Chains A and B, each alone.
Chain A
Amino acid sequence: MRLEKCWFCSSTVYPGHGIQFVRNDAKIFRFCRSKCHKNFKMKRNPRKVKWTKAYRRLHGKDMTHDSTFEFERKRNRPERYDRNLAENTLKAIKKIDKIRSDRASDHIKNRLKTGKVQRQKEARKQLEQGIHLVKAPHALAQDSSLCLPKIKVNVSQAQTEENQPMEE
Chain B
Amino acid sequence: MSELEQLRQEAEQLKNQIRDARKNACDTSLAQAAANVEPVGRIQMRTRRTLRGHLAKIYAMHWATDSSGATNRNLVSASQDGKLIVWDGYTTNKVHAIPLRSSWVMTCAYAPSGSFVACGGLDNICSIYSLKTREGNVRVTRELPGHTGYLSCCRFIDDNQIVTSSGDMTCALWDIETGQNTTTFAGHTGDVMSLSLAPDMRTFVSGACDASAKLWDTRDGMCHQTFTGHESDINAITYFPNGYAFATGSDDATCRLFDIRADQEIGMYSHDNIICGITSVAFSKSGRLLLGGYDDFNCNVWDTLRQDRAGVLAGHDNRVSCLGVTEDGMAVATGSWDSFLKIWN
Do A and B originate from a single complex? no
Q: Which residues of A contact B (CB under 8 A)?
A: none
